[in-house]
Structure 1
Amino acid sequence: MSETSTVIIVGSSRSTGNTAELAIAIASKLKASIIDLNQYQIAPFDYEFRNRDDDFLTLMKQVLSFDRIILATPMYWYAPSAIMKTFMDRISDLLKVEKDLGRQLRSKKAALLGTGCDAIPAACFEQVFQLTFAYLGMAYQGMLYASCEKDFVHDQHLLAIERFTESLHAE
């Protein structure tokens, strides 16, 4: 069985925050690439598609070269970060204008990394992603949530990281 190529897309207000730390820990186990959305200029969705000169389509062409796409975001007010929500909204471009690219999502696996200060994330947080992945025809492989009261402490999450990466390898 060939190894699944994986990309982790980090969408957080802090490029070096808890979510990035969790993404790095997972990436090292999966030999995954990491993309930081803060390094790209992605405009909000526009029904007139006047935003086509930003980085979104170029980024998506790169992302679609991977078998598995893991989105990583902190949970802000029970929802993804603004930068992650903007990225997700722009997937509409792939359903309306760049349909050939959009169809490629159907063959992809998807997963979610989340961080936050709640001990357990609200169900609505994961549901946003589950429903989006289902709509896009992507095979959802689950979520790893790391509760971080202040800073991400790697040792506190070792077992969860191990279990999560093992479950991804099993599928």
Structure 2
Amino acid sequence: MKIAIVLGTSRRNGNTANLVEYFIEQYPAQCTLFHLSNYDIAPYDYNFNNQDDDFLPLITNIIENYDAIILASPVYWYAPSAQMKVFMDRLSDLLVINKPLGRKLKGMSAGVIATGVVSKPNTCFEEIFRATFNYLHMPYIGMLYCTYADEIENIASHQQYLDKHVSTYVTTAFA
């Protein structure tokens, strides 16, 4: 299974980026990272005046070449990062002006990787993803969430913690 991981975070070496890198290290042959900071993606526009940005080439690559997509974001105020929200909003392009491409999302597995300061994120965070994937008829494989509250300030330095969470996620999501 080829997995596209789309990372939306403002900190290249932050906890979410570290968790994604750790995940990729465990499954390097299957995973490819797409860091949204490397792309120029404009916000959704009802007049579609944003078609010269990087969204369409990026999503086309993902849809045409991968079996699953994992969206990775820190939890910011109960929601995904601004970069991730813009990316997700642009999926609307695939429902209006790029319908043939959008139809190819149907059946593609989709999941979430996230980090935050609370031990368990508020349900509204995951629901944004779950509802989006459900609307697009993408089987939801669940969320890998790790906290960095209290004693875990840098999740990358906690090998045992990561091993447990990543292996549990992979076992349930990709079984």
TM-score range, shorter chain: over 0.9
Structure 1: 5+ residue runs without aligned partners? none
CA contact (8 A) 2:69 2:111 kept: yes
Partners of 1:97 and 1:82 in 2: CA distance: 23
| Cα displacement (A) at 1:9 | 0.5
Give the 3-state SS of the residue equivalent to 1:107 in structure 2.
coil
Partners of 1:61 and 1:115 in 2: CA distance: 27
Partners of 2:105 and 2:71 in 1: CA distance: 14
Q: Quote the residue 1:160 is aligned against.
A: 165
Question: Which amino acid letter does the alignment assign opposite residue 151 of structure 1?
Answer: N
Partners of 1:157 and 1:30 in 2: CA distance: 14
Q: Quote the residue 2:95 is aligned against.
A: 95
Q: Quote the residue 1:151 is aligned against.
A: 154
| Cα displacement (A) at 1:166 | 1.9
| Cα displacement (A) at 1:168 | 2.7
Question: Which amino acid letter does the alignment assign opposite residue 11 of structure 1?
Answer: G
Equivalent pairs, count:
167
Structure 2: 5+ residue runs without aligned partners? none
Q: Where in structure 2 are the equivalents of 1:17-166 lying within 5 Å?
A: 17-31=14-28, 32-64=31-63, 65-149=65-149, 150-152=153-155, 153-155=157-159, 156-166=161-171
Candidates 2, 6, 9, aligned match of 1:5: 2
Give the 3-state SS of the residue equivalent to 1:54 in structure 2.
coil
| Cα displacement (A) at 1:169 | 2.9
Identity across aligned pairs (percent)?
43
Relative to the length of structure 1, the TM-score reads: 0.94
CA contact (8 A) 1:29 1:165 kept: no
Relative to the length of structure 2, the TM-score reads: 0.92
